[in-house]
Amino acid sequence: MIRIFPHSNTNFACPECNTGITEPERIAFLGIHTMAFCTCPSCKYQFLHDLPAGHGLTQPVCAGITEKKIHKGPKWFSNQLFDSPVSKTISATVHREVGSVIILNCLDYLYGHVLLKLLNATHYIDKHPDKGLILIIPSGFEWLVPDGTAEIWTVHAKLSDFKKQISSLDNFVQEKIKKYDSVFLSIGWSHPDPTTTDISRYSRVKSFELNNFDQLPPTITFICREDRPWIRSGCGMISFQILRLKISKKLAAGWFVRSQNCKIRRTMKRIRMAIPETEFHVVGLGNTGSFPSWIRDHRLSTIDAEAEKKWCELYSKSHIVAGIHGSNMLLPSAHAAGFIEILPDDRQGNIYQDIFSPHQGRISHFLGRFVREYVSPKEIAKTACAMIIFFERFRLNMDENGQLYGESDNLTQFESRLSNMKWQISKNKGLKKLIHNYKI
């Protein structure tokens, strides 16, 4: 935690002369950025510097105030710093009064960034019960606020608005913090540990219970994105032709989405051939195209809290969730048993940043698969079938904690699971042959 009131315990070096600054003049909440206003005691240079919180911990922005010069920081994080500020309505919801508080700033223009920052909340609620947690969140995320939060400061704005400074935010915060004895800023890790985070405290939906894996009908849910569809090899050339011929972007986008829908249908059809009892679902923003009746379509053109919670309930019943890399995979991977992620080549460096699976050890590798963006429906179908059919065999062979071995009390349970595993594979005895002969 970083103390910011009544005085700060941070210091920064001047970017012009590299002289140490003992204490910022003040801490300002500018939206995504929580920054220190500093004046160098040697050269009198005035600059802003991100506090080590959120993305400012690993990619801090430092900028000169007068000439608006960016000294350091990635473009995606610094571009909005000097854009024309916007004023937005901010409301406060108080659950309990406390003397000392921790502020967790969750604001961002990307859905996944907001959600990941918010998932730090229970750590502070549990580890610092003597202090109250205050969340600064965009409207639309209130349904995910965990119990135990002292206050919620909601900025009523679209996510895209956070690409700019929120001019009304700093005055709001400065006025509010005057009533507290001490105020700290949460570090707000941009990628908190999913293995120590109970997602049900946020969504109020429990994750898939692995002990029920073989007891429930196999269920596969595909998360569709219309702004980043699953493409196939050769689509790069098509994109070039679209630009060269000046074809309507809307028309082109529709073509890519329908192509994606076709690939999803082909994938699910192959899985259905191998495991006929499988249930299939699609979710996502958009309604381009259609699916056959045996694939349940839960897509929506607009989303609200009630719809998101229903989607989470569906994820929690899914053996596998599949989709393209992006923030659309965070809640699905946190609730489902396993996932298959289609990873574009230009996102190789971002692998796992959008996954919040709670599993640890070798089972996390069995239940978490990454495939290239040009993968065929056949390859995804083979992977999904293997994950469903051989899960119990894998778990019995790879029992890492020795929970089923060495104790006579567990022998009956082990024999029961072993028998169930043999029955399951026998029931799908044609699957192994189908997989190895590439017929699904």
For Cα atoms 174, 177, 183, give the angle at the middle one, nearest 5 degrees. Answer: 120
| Tens-digit pLDDT profile for residues 306-352 | 999 999 999 999 999 999 999 999 999 999 999 999 999 888 999 99
The answer on pLDDT for 432 being more than 70 is no
Q: What percent of the chain has pLDDT over 90?
A: 61
For residue 248, what are the contacts with CB-CB under 8 A and spacing of at least 6?
A: none
| Tens-digit pLDDT profile for residues 33-84 | 999 999 988 888 899 999 999 999 999 999 998 888 999 999 888 887 887 8
The answer on pLDDT for 112 being more than 80 is yes
Q: Where in the chain is the domain with CATH 3.40.50?
A: 203-224+261-436
With contact defined as beta carbons under 8 Å apart, do 105 and 185 qualify?
Answer: yes
- The residue whose two tokens read 């937005």 is 88
Tokens of 132: 């109250």
| Tens-digit pLDDT profile for residues 350-399 | 999 999 999 998 899 999 999 998 899 999 999 999 999 889 888 877 76
CA dist 215 and 221 (Å) reads: 18
pLDDT class for 134, splitting at 50, 70, 90?
A: very high
The answer on pLDDT for 159 being more than 80 is yes
With contact defined as beta carbons under 8 Å apart, do 105 and 117 qualify?
Answer: yes
Domain 203-224+261-436: assigned CATH number: 3.40.50
Distance of CA 315 to the CA centre of its chain: 14
pLDDT class for 428, splitting at 50, 70, 90?
A: low
343 Ramachandran zone, left/alpha/beta (phi>0; psi -120 to 50): beta
Please name which of 279, 316, 289, 285 lies closest in space to residue 298, comparing C-alpha atoms: 285
Specify the pTM. Answer: 0.87
With contact defined as beta carbons under 8 Å apart, do 64 and 37 qualify?
Answer: no
Please name which of 346, 307, 308 lies closest in space to residue 325, comparing C-alpha atoms: 346
For residue 25, what are the contacts with CB-CB under 8 A and spacing of at least 6?
A: 36, 37, 38, 39
How far apart, in Å, are the Cα atoms of 62 and each of 79, 81, 386? 12, 10, 50
| Tens-digit pLDDT profile for residues 1-45 | 899 888 888 888 888 888 777 678 889 999 999 999 999 888 888
State in Å, rounded, how far the first CA of the chain is from the last one: 53
